[in-house]
Structure 1
Amino acid sequence: MNLKYKFPENFWWGSAVSATQIEGASKEDGKGLNIWDYWYEKEPYRFFEGIGPEITSDFYHRYKEDIKLMKEIGHNSFRFSISWSRLIPNGNGNLNEKAIDFYNDLINELLKNDIEPFINLYHFDMPLELQNKGGFENRDVVDAYTEYAKTCFKLFGDRVKRWFTFNEPIVPVEGGYLYDFHYPNVVDFKRAVQVAYNTVIANAKAIKEFKKLNIKKGKIGIILNLTPSYPRSNNPADLKAANIADLFFNRSFLDPTVKGEYPKELIELIKSNNLLPIVFDGDKDLIKNNTVDFLGINYYQPRRVKAKACMPNPESPLLPDDFFDNYEMPGRKMNVYRGWEIYEKGIYDIAINLKENYNNIESYISENGMGVQNEERFIKDGIIQDDYRIDFIREHLIWLHKAIEEGCNVKGYHMWTFIDNWSWTNAYKNRYGFIQLDLKTQKRIFKKSAYWIKEVAKNNGFN
Structure 2
Amino acid sequence: MRYRFPENFWWGSACSALQTEGDSLNGGKSQTTWDVWFARQPGRFHQGIGPENTSGFYQHWKQDIALLKQLKHNSFRTSLSWSRLIPDGTGEVNPEAVEFYSNVIDELLAQGITPFITLFHFDMPMVMQEKGGWENRDVVAAFGRYAQICFDLFGNRVKHWFTFNEPIVPVEGGYLYDFHYPNVVDFRRAATVAYHTVLAHSLAVRAYRAGSHDGEIGVVLNLTPSYPRSAHPADVKAAHHADLLFNRSFLDPVLKGEYPADLIALLKEYDQLPACQPGDKELIADGKIDLLGINYYQPRRVKCRDSAVNPDAPFMPETLFDYYEMPGRKMNPYRGWEIYEPGIYDIITNLRDHYGNPRCFISENGMGVENEQRFIENGHINDHYRIEFVSEHLKWLHKGISEGCNCLGYHMWTFIDNWSWLNGYKNRYGFVQLDLETQQRTIKQSGKWFAATAENNGFN
Q: Where in structure 2 are the equivalents of 1:49-448 lying within 5 Å? A: 49-216=47-214, 218-448=215-445
Distance (Å, rounded) in 1 between the aligned partners of 2:19 and 2:7: 31
- Say if 2:14 and 2:411, in contact at 8 Å, map to a contact too: yes
1:347 maps to a residue whose letter is I
- Say if 2:370 and 2:426, in contact at 8 Å, map to a contact too: yes
Per-residue CA shift, 1:299-334, capped at 9, x if unaligned?
000000000010111111111011100000000000
Distance (Å, rounded) in 1 between the aligned partners of 2:91 and 2:44: 32
Distance (Å, rounded) in 1 between the aligned partners of 2:311 and 2:47: 36
Distance (Å, rounded) in 1 between the aligned partners of 2:283 and 2:81: 26
Query: Tell me, what secondary structure is at the counterpart of 1:38?
Result: helix
Distance (Å, rounded) in 1 between the aligned partners of 2:436 and 2:384: 22
Deviation of 1:289 after TM superposition, in Å, equals 2.5
2:343 maps to a residue whose letter is G
Per-residue CA shift, 1:263-316, capped at 9, x if unaligned?
000000000111111111011111113311110000000000000010111111
Relative to the length of structure 1, the TM-score reads 0.99
Distance (Å, rounded) in 2 between the aligned partners of 1:215 and 1:403: 31
Distance (Å, rounded) in 2 between the aligned partners of 1:332 and 1:441: 39
Query: Tell me, what secondary structure is at the counterpart of 2:120?
Result: coil
Query: Tell me, what secondary structure is at the counterpart of 1:78?
Result: strand
Per-residue CA shift, 1:227-283, capped at 9, x if unaligned?
000000000000000000000000000001110010000000000111111111011
Distance (Å, rounded) in 1 between the aligned partners of 2:153 and 2:275: 33
Query: Tell me, what secondary structure is at the counterpart of 1:389?
Result: helix
Distance (Å, rounded) in 2 between the aligned partners of 1:462 and 1:323: 43
Deviation of 1:19 after TM superposition, in Å, equals 0.6
Per-residue CA shift, 1:148-202, capped at 9, x if unaligned?
0000000000000000000000000000000000000000000000000000001
**Structure 1 stretches (4+) deviating beyond 3 angstroms?**
none
Distance (Å, rounded) in 2 between the aligned partners of 1:162 and 1:290: 16
Per-residue CA shift, 1:436-458, capped at 9, x if unaligned?
00111010001000110010000
Sequence identity (%): 63
Larger mean Cα displacement after TM superposition, 165-174 or 278-287: 278-287
Distance (Å, rounded) in 1 between the aligned partners of 2:374 and 2:261: 51
Distance (Å, rounded) in 2 between the aligned partners of 1:26 and 1:425: 16
Query: Tell me, what secondary structure is at the counterpart of 2:454?
Result: helix
2:259 maps to a residue whose letter is Y
Query: Tell me, what secondary structure is at the counterpart of 1:254?
Result: helix
Relative to the length of structure 2, the TM-score reads 1.00
Distance (Å, rounded) in 1 between the aligned partners of 2:309 and 2:58: 47
